[in-house]
Each structure stands twice: as structure tokens, then as C-alpha cells.
Structure 1
Amino acid sequence: MRAIFNHFHPLNKLKRERERYLVNHDVPDNIKTLLSTPLPSLDDDIFSLDYLSVDFETSGFDPKNDSLLSVGYLPLINQQLLLSEAVETLIQSAENIKAETAVINHIVPEMLEQGKPWAEVMDTLLAEAVGKVLIVHGSVVEKRFLNHYIAKQYKLPPLPLLWVDTLQMEKSLHMYKDDSATDDFRLGSIRARHNLPEYSAHGALVDSLATGELYLALLKIHFEGTDSSVRYMKFDYTRAL
């Protein structure tokens, strides 16, 4: 029975999907390296995995009409966020900046003139993601813009990557507590509920740091004192949104 459960576990299904992806598509070396690096096993400890906390700042939600403005990320290794390896990069010549998003992220066209090319930034992110689980807060934006990049740059379908979403983790926690009164799942609001400090600035790097810290707090709430093997983690396996 356990063997059957393991076979149909979403993580093992993702492993088989990666194998099919590499067989069915002509992928460049960087994508091949990313998808051929082994995924965690079901018996691995969630706390011991290598993660990359990621945040995208964009001018909107539709990558076909909006622009990716900046990318921020930092590794989470051995339950420690590695600030010395944190990265935030502006995207060169991004278009469609909107006043309402500029108010939030303070990114204006003049700043983007000093940015880096879109492909260089995204390929660097893909290289950093090798062997890591991606942490995001609300995966819709990051997945849409990453999928768009993969389709436009490489003419490939969405990559079968392994994500964890702190937004969904928090929602599942409230469902378990039967707390239907809470409807504010913004990153700052959730952090406040878990007594994490408020960050006055807003941007890709700050939000990736805030998301990584929240993930560590949620991990302890969900798994401390219980079986924390990977088989019990609710990863986000969806790709196309």
C-alpha cells in the first residue's frame, strides 16, 4: 500500500513529468540542468531542504501586456536566509510602467535605464534555482511571468518546477482552525499575525526576504514536533495559470 501511495504522490508524479519534459522537448543546457537535478525524496526532512525565496515586481498581472520590472531572491539553506547571497535586479527597458504600481514599488522608468536585459536576469534566476524549492507568496504573478519568459525565449511550455506558497500555507492553517473570519492574506498582514516585524520598504528583495522569514515561521507552526518528512508537505505543483 505504501508503495502505491508513493507512486502516486504528487512529488513522484512531478519527477516523472520532468523526465517526460526532457524527452519530449529540445531544451537548452541551462533548462536541462535545472530539470535533471534530483528533486527531494519523500523521506527527506522539510527543514533540511534548500530553498530560494523569490519575488517579482511587475507593472500588472498579465505578462503579455505588462512588464517585469525587478526580480529579487535569496537562498534559504539549513533554515537560514543567506543575506550575503541576496540579489535584486532591475529589468532594462521594461515598458508599461503604471502610476499605481510605481506608488507601491517606487520603480520609475529612469531607474530601469540602468537595469539588465530581461533574458540575462531570468536565466540567472533559473541557474540559482537549480536544486532548490522556490518559495513565493501568492504564486500567480511569478508563475505567469516565468511561464511567459520560457515560452517567448525558448518556445517551451511551462517548466515542471517545485514551489511552496506561503499564501496557501496560511490559508490552510486557517481552514484547519476553522477561522473563516480572516480574509486578509496580504504578506504584511500575515507577518503581523505571526509577530514578525514590519518592513517599511517595498520591493522585490525586501518582499523575498519577508516571504522567506514567513515561510520559516509557518514551517514551525505546521511541523514542529511532528513528522516533517517531505511526504506531508503541500507543495505547489501547478504550472500553467
Structure 2
Amino acid sequence: MGVFNWFSEKKSNYPDFWLEYLEGFKTQMNKDIKTTRFVAFDTETTGFDFNEDRVLSIGAVSFINKKIEVSKSLELYIKQDVFKAESVKIHGILKNSNVEKQTELDAIKSFLNYIKSDVLIAHHANFDRNMINKMLERHGLGKLKNKFIDTGHLFKKSVHLLYKDEDQPFTLDELAKELNVPLVDRHTATGDALITALIFLKTLSRLDKRKHLNWGYLLPK
């Protein structure tokens, strides 16, 4: 079997929703930042181990031209086989709570349908990206293809910080305080996604004033 035939056969084994997600990346990325759709998202998890822990909930909000579409936010709760009672004091999500929960696979479908091929914003983005990628891996899918922007890294670049160790990350609370962003629904996935979006937009305004509002500056090298 030739390499091309092997690749085509392997690709055809993917479910339609994943192929539809991949299809979105065939079009060229929007060069105009002001008309680009961004999606800020956050995950609440049972812990910090990518292999052992699981995503409990995913929250996301989208925005174009600095206008957050709050009415079109995403809030997903996932049924759990793995559960750690000690994490409840942080996120407040109980295993048998009354919120409507869906399977991990259904949550993946809903999340991919929401984010499409748009630019993703997260605080400590590597953690959230890796947790989602592990979800995808468990269902035989590939990794997220979206461009990512980490609000912590972007904020540091925007103010050229010299007073904080470059390797020492800002917490979401620290950035919210620095930028006067209200901590609404802190430690819920959707609440933290909204806080992240507001932090990003305030940082974006700083960059716009300094003529740094371009993809080369926003996206990690």
C-alpha cells in the first residue's frame, strides 16, 4: 500500500465531526485581527496530572472586535469515572450534582463545534490545551490544531516586565487585579473563561495604543 493510500485510509477512519473540524483549517487565517473570532476558554479538572486526571467542565466565550458574545457562551459538564473529592473545594463540582452532564465524547463534539478553527485564548494555556488533547487522545483523535495565545505571556510582553521573574507565571487573580477585571464566578469554567477574555481584551487595548496589534506580536514564536 502506498503512503498516500495509507494516509487516506487512516484519515477516513476518523468520525465526521473530527473531519469537519480539520476542514476548517484549510482556509487561510484571517489577517485582520479586528475581524477575527477569538475564543477564551477554561477547564476545571480533578487535578493536574494529564494522564490520571480528567476534565470536569469546560467554559468558553467568543468575541469579535472586542465585543464578547456572552449570550453565546459555552458551558459543558462531563460525566466522571475518575473523581477526586478534594478538588471540590476549588471548583465546587460534585460527582452527583444536579447540573446536566454529558459524556466526554459528546463534550468534545460540542467544544470543537464551538471553537472551530478560531484563535484560542487561555490562562496557563499549555495546561488547558494538554487536558483537552488527552481527551481527544482517549477517543482516537488528533491534537487541537488552533492557534493559542496565553494571557500571562501576552501581558508580560505588553508591559516588558522587569520586576517579576520571566519564568514565574502570573495567576489569573493577579492579572485581574492589575487590570481591574472583576472576579465574577471565579473557579467556574465559564466564569474563568470570561475573566480571561476581559484580561486579553484589556491587554489588547494596550498593544493597540502602542501599535503592537499584529499577529507576529500576539502569537508565540
Q: TM-score range by the shorter chain?
A: 0.7 to 0.9
Residue of structure 2 in register with 1:217 after alignment:
202
Aligned counterparts, 1:125-144, within 5 A: 125-144=111-130
Match of 2:38 among 33, 37, 51: 51
CA-to-partner distance for each residue in 1:41-100, whole Å, 9 max, x for gaps? Answer: 4xx23232101111100011123211211111111122111110112121113422231x
Root-mean-square deviation over aligned CA pairs: 2.5
Residue type of the alignment partner of 1:160: K
Aligned counterparts, 1:1-241, within 5 A: 25-26=10-11, 27-37=14-24, 38-41=27-30, 44-99=31-86, 101-111=87-97, 114-153=100-139, 155-174=140-159, 176-180=160-164, 183=168, 185-199=170-184, 201-226=186-211, 228-235=213-220
C-alpha spacing 1:138/1:181, structure 2 compared with 1 (3 Å): closer
Q: Distance in 2 between matches of 1:77 and 1:94?
A: 37
Q: Distance in 2 between matches of 1:122 and 1:148?
A: 11
Structure 2 SS opposite 1:180: coil
Q: Distance in 2 between matches of 1:126 and 1:49?
A: 17
CA contact (8 A) 1:170 1:218 kept: yes
Q: How many percent of aligned residue pairs carry the same amino acid?
A: 21
Alignment size in residue pairs: 210
Superposed displacement of residue 149, structure 1: 1.7
Q: Which runs of 5+ in 2 are unaligned?
A: 1-6
Structure 2 SS opposite 1:216: helix
Q: Distance in 1 between matches of 2:91 and 2:113?
A: 26
Q: Distance in 1 between matches of 2:8 and 2:217?
A: 29
Query: When the two structures are superposed, what TM-score results if normalisation uses the length of structure 1?
Result: 0.77
C-alpha spacing 1:124/1:23, structure 2 compared with 1 (3 Å): same
Query: When the two structures are superposed, what TM-score results if normalisation uses the length of structure 2?
Result: 0.83
CA contact (8 A) 1:137 1:165 kept: yes
Q: Distance in 2 between matches of 1:200 and 1:56?
A: 14
Q: Distance in 1 between matches of 2:216 and 2:73?
A: 29
Q: Which runs of 5+ in 1 are unaligned?
A: 1-21, 237-241
Structure 1 SS opposite 2:192: helix
CA contact (8 A) 1:166 1:211 kept: yes
CA contact (8 A) 2:185 2:192 kept: no
Q: Which moved more, 1:158-167 or 1:213-222?
A: 158-167
Structure 2 SS opposite 1:109: coil
Residue type of the alignment partner of 1:142: D
Residue of structure 2 in register with 1:12 after alignment:
none
C-alpha spacing 1:115/1:165, structure 2 compared with 1 (3 Å): same
Residue type of the alignment partner of 2:189: A
